[in-house]
Amino acid sequence: MSKGMLIVGIILLAIITFGVVNIVQNYQTGNELDYYLLRETTEAAMTDAVDVGYYRLSGLLRIDKEKFVESFVRRFSENVSNSRTYDIGFYDINETPPKVSVLVKSETAASINGESLTLSNKIDVILESKYHENQYVTKMTRAGQLDYSDVDR
Instruction: Quote the pLDDT of residue 39.
Output: 92
CA distance 90 to 102: 5
Instruction: Quote the pLDDT of residue 111.
Output: 65
**Runs of H (alpha helix) within 49-150:** 52-58, 65-79, 135-143
127: left (phi over 0), alpha (psi -120 to 50) or beta: beta
Considering Cα of 16, then 22, then 25, then 31, what sign does the dihedral take?
negative
In the DSSP assignment, the letter for residue 85 is E
Instruction: Quote the pLDDT of residue 136.
Output: 61
Instruction: Quote the pLDDT of residue 145.
Output: 55
Series of mean pLDDT values for 10-residue runs along the chain (153 residues): 84 88 70 86 92 79 91 91 83 88 82 74 85 62 54 51
This prediction has a pTM of 0.68
CA distance 153 to 78: 43
Whether the bond between 98 and the residue before it is cis, its omega within 30 degrees of 0, is: no
Instruction: Quote the pLDDT of residue 109.
Output: 64
Instruction: Quote the pLDDT of residue 153.
Output: 52
**Where are the strands (E) in the chain, listed by range?**
85-94, 99-112, 115-126
Instruction: Quote the pLDDT of residue 149.
Output: 54
Instruction: Quote the pLDDT of residue 144.
Output: 56
